[in-house]
Amino acid sequence: MSENPLQDAIREAIDENEVILFMKGVPEQPACGFSARAVGALQSVGARFAAVDVLPDPRIRQELSAISQWPTIPQLFVKGELVGGSDIIMEMHEAGELAPALGLEQPEQAADLGEPDPDAPPLQIENRLG
């Protein structure tokens, strides 16, 4: 453990969840368009993922960026590694690379990435970062 319990909690969340999205809002109600697009892309390939809302405490975003060296939100981690933000997630999705990166088969037909499906069951993670 370091002297920074918030960074430790973030690292633990990344390590404990194979796919985790740090976002603004929650998958059922994203609080920005970038987070909504990231959730839509993940849901369209059938990904199960944990999500952490960075909005309740601005320190989460600050400490996450210190760990990842990535300045923007959302941030997607797969198997402990940063994949990237919304633009990279969307580029991977459009190129058919997102599903394989998540260990999933590519769906036969790409789903509409409009609004996230509120009935899609992402893994729920207790936000212990606050």
pLDDT of residue 114: 57
Cis peptide leading into residue 116 (ω within 30°): no
pLDDT of residue 47: 94
Query: Is the pLDDT score of 89 beyond 90?
Result: yes
Tell how far CA 105 is from the center of its chain.
19
User: What is the distance between the alpha carbons of residues 99 and 84, in angstroms, rounded to a whole number?
Assistant: 15
The two structure tokens encoding residue 27: 């998958």
Query: Is the pLDDT score of 118 beyond 80?
Result: no
With beta carbons less than 8 A apart as the criterion, state whether 63 and 22 touch.
Answer: no
Q: How many CB atoms within 10 Å of residue 99?
A: 20
Instruction: Pick 5-101's CATH classification: 3.40.30.10, 3.40.50.150, 3.90.1150.10, 3.40.50.2300.
Output: 3.40.30.10
